[in-house]
Chain A
Amino acid sequence: MSAFTTVEEFRTAVRDWLDTHDLVPGPDRSLDAQVAQLGRVRGALFDAGWMRYGWPERVGGLAGPAVFRAVLGEEVATRGLAEPGIYSMVEVLTPTLISYARPELAAEMVPLLLSGREQWCQGFSEPGSGSDLASLTTKAVRHGDTWVVNGQKVWTSLAQFAARCVLLTRTAPGHDGITAFFVDMDTPGITVRPLRTMHGVDEFAEVFFDDVIVPADRMLGRPGDGWRLAMDLLPHERSTCFWHRVAHLYTRLDRLLAQTDVPDDAALGAAYLALHTVRCRSYATQRRLAEGARLGPETSVDKVLLATAEQQLFETVRDLLPGVLELDDSPWRSEYLYSRAATLYGGTAEIQRNIVARRLLELGRE
């Protein structure tokens, strides 16, 4: 049983604790420093118990409703303690382990992630399989008690820091021929090469698999469950992670307000309205989650609203801080450039609209 009966109690206790424990990041903004800071924040929050609320006891959690995780992440984002993108990865990886890993494996591994002792990554996209994820070709072939993996992944966040990878492979043709594994990244045959991105943070990597041997008991689910695993994971990505990201974006609007001297009320109001709208939508999604609803294609609406709001906010930053992105060395430049990817990662804006048209508007096939 959780020690807290209401969200308000939990929030107050988290705030009190954070007020008296200094987890503010240092001046170094490099990715190495960000990942080290993430480990520090998770470790401290895990040791104090906060990071464990909202997760089941069988994986090292302290139970309580999932909304506690949204509240904790909002505090972390609002105080700027950890980069929200990498902080929120637990929201996707942990539910996947809980739903698909052997119970003993989940119980052994999840605490390593929650406590910040390990980073994990997600090997989904491939050079030839981006939007068309189901066409992936990284192959896994059975050899007795093991599987041998060959292929290449790309856009794998934090792969160079990761100890484990949730990996999608091809074991047979079609959607039913995709199988997921939980792979140790120090297995011989895995090569990681970070990608240089336009915003200057090498958060993504290419990962190569050459005759990588994976024990059969590291399979997540059964052969052919990989596509379902990937689809189950998306609503997680679009509920609690989004609440965290929206909290982060509010801090950037505050920062803009503090720095701009361009009195453009229309632009500021429009950026605020877009953020408020996605916050309200994400709130509704949190409510549905709390009522036990199974999230599905309607979260594509959240995704479109968030990506649109994020890009609009950073366009407004550029307009209302003239010259700053282009001439000054400040975090705005990297953050503005990163916002260009908001309509790409996690399923492009076009894929989201396809889903809305097909699944929510029921317009039939293209």
Chain B
Amino acid sequence: MDTAEVELLSQTLRKTMTTTASGPALDAALVELGWSELLAEFPDAALPTVFRLLGETGAHASVLVDVVDTMTLPYAGGRWVEWERGSTVVSTGLDEELPLRPVPTGEPVPLDAGRRAVGWWLVGTGRAMLTLARAHVLDRVQFGRPLASFQAVRHRLAETLVALEGAEATLAVADDPLGSLLAKAAAGQAALTAARHCQQVLGGIGFTAEHPLHRHVRRALVLDGLLGSARELTREAGALLRTEGSAPRLVQL
């Protein structure tokens, strides 16, 4: 797919995700749009676009199940969760919108594509929080001037953008197990950085249930643990370095 085609796909997906109820209805709508064929034929374009947009719009669908080809997924801390595709029961998890249920155990499966998918979802979630925070600081006036004019506030949002851009760069080139692991770690870290800074600059309003921020914060926290948290994956990368005795240069000009 060329840039123009990806852009067109992106517009269509965004519209679908913002006008269709998340969950089974969005799953059906994505199938209608040809999600299965896109994933099979153009995974390099489809996967980043779909998952990043899920994050940006705050929508959710069970498309991750198609990427990893199983419903039972490893979670942080050696835990396992079942992605209950089709379920409309409210979850008891931190993010009650996602149909995730803890289960005692599961079967290990290849996780590279899944980690890239969740990684794109995490940076999309981070972008959503940054958009909310940016709008707030430009709008809200204190001491007679917009919050956006205070350097302490600006630097928090600058840090957020740097973290998200860095994570996207790792995702864009990830094409092997280690690259996918590192990209998921960078994305988890970036989304949590976004959550911390955006929550802070949104002040009191960002702590209310009526403001959308908390939905993205919950999603970032839950997605970070899915298929391994940033903390765990970083440690895994460190262990690999010690075993190999050198640091792999994954990207070549």
On A, residues with C-beta under 8 Å from B are: 7, 11, 67, 70-71, 74, 243, 247, 250, 253-254, 257-258, 263-270, 272-273, 275-281, 283-284, 286, 298, 301, 304-305, 350, 352-354, 356-358, 360-361, 363-366
Contact = CB atoms under 8 A, between A and B. Distances in A.
A277 B238 contact: no
- Which of A243, A247, A276, A284 gathers most chain B CB within 10 Å? A276
B253 A67 contact: yes
Contact of A276 (B155, B159, B170, B172): B170
Given A250-B249, A254-B245, A354-B158, 5 more contacts: A250-B247, A273-B186, A352-B158, A353-B159, A356-B162
Given A71-B253, A286-B253, A254 B246 contact: yes
Nearest to B173: A280
Nearest to B174: A280
Given A265-B238, A273-B237, A279 B157 contact: no
14 contacts: A257-B241, A269-B239, A272-B182, A273-B234, A276-B182, A276-B250, A277-B167, A277-B170, A277-B182, A298-B165, A301-B161, A357-B157, A361-B157, A361-B161
A305 B157 contact: no
B43 interface: no
A301 B155 contact: no
Q: Is the interface of A mostly helix, strand, loop or mixed?
A: helix
A283 B253 contact: yes
B166 A353 contact: no
A363 B172 CA distance: 27
B186 A277 contact: yes
B149 A281 contact: no
B251 A279 contact: yes
A272 B189 CA distance: 14
Contacts of B161: 301, 356, 360-361
Nearest to A316: B238
B85 to A, nearest CB: 32
Q: Is the interface of B mostly helix, strand, loop or mixed?
A: helix
Interface residues of B, number: 43
The 4 A-B residue pairs with the shortest CB-CB distance in the complex, in nearest-first order: A269-B238, A265-B238, A268-B238, A357-B154
A350 B251 CA distance: 29
A217 B134 CA distance: 49
Interface string B211-248: 00000000000000000000101111111011001110
Contacts of B242: 257, 263, 265, 268
Nearest to B250: A276
A247 B253 CA distance: 12
Nearest to A247: B249
A280 B251 contact: yes
Contact of A265 (B134, B235, B250): B235
B167 A366 contact: no
A67 B247 CA distance: 23
Contacts of A257: 241-242, 245-247
A363 B166 contact: no
Contacts of B186: 273, 276-277
Nearest to A249: B247
Contact of B236 (A11, A269, A360): A269
Contacts of B138: 363-364
B247 A301 contact: no
B247 A254 contact: yes
A360 B233 CA distance: 30
A306 to B, nearest CB: 10
Contact of A269 (B137, B162, B167, B234): B234
A284 B172 contact: yes
A361 B231 contact: no
B247 A253 contact: yes
A301 B253 contact: no
A247 B245 CA distance: 17
A277 B251 CA distance: 10
Nearest to B154: A357
Contacts of B155: 350, 353-354, 357
Nearest to A309: B166
Contacts of A286: 253
A359 to B, nearest CB: 10
B151 interface: yes
Given A269-B236, A286-B253, A304 B162 contact: yes
A286 B169 CA distance: 12
Contacts of A270: 234, 238
B67 interface: no
B194 interface: no
Given A254-B247, A360-B161, A277 B169 contact: yes
A72 B185 CA distance: 31
A75 to B, nearest CB: 11
A269 B169 contact: no
Contacts of B237: 265, 268-269, 272-273
Contact of A273 (B165, B185, B251): B185
Nearest to A353: B158
Contact of A305 (B162, B182, B250, B253): B162
A37 B185 CA distance: 40
Given A250-B247, A269-B234, A365-B149, A357 B169 contact: no
A354 B151 contact: yes
Contacts of A365: 149
B177 interface: no
B157 A363 contact: yes
A277 B179 CA distance: 10
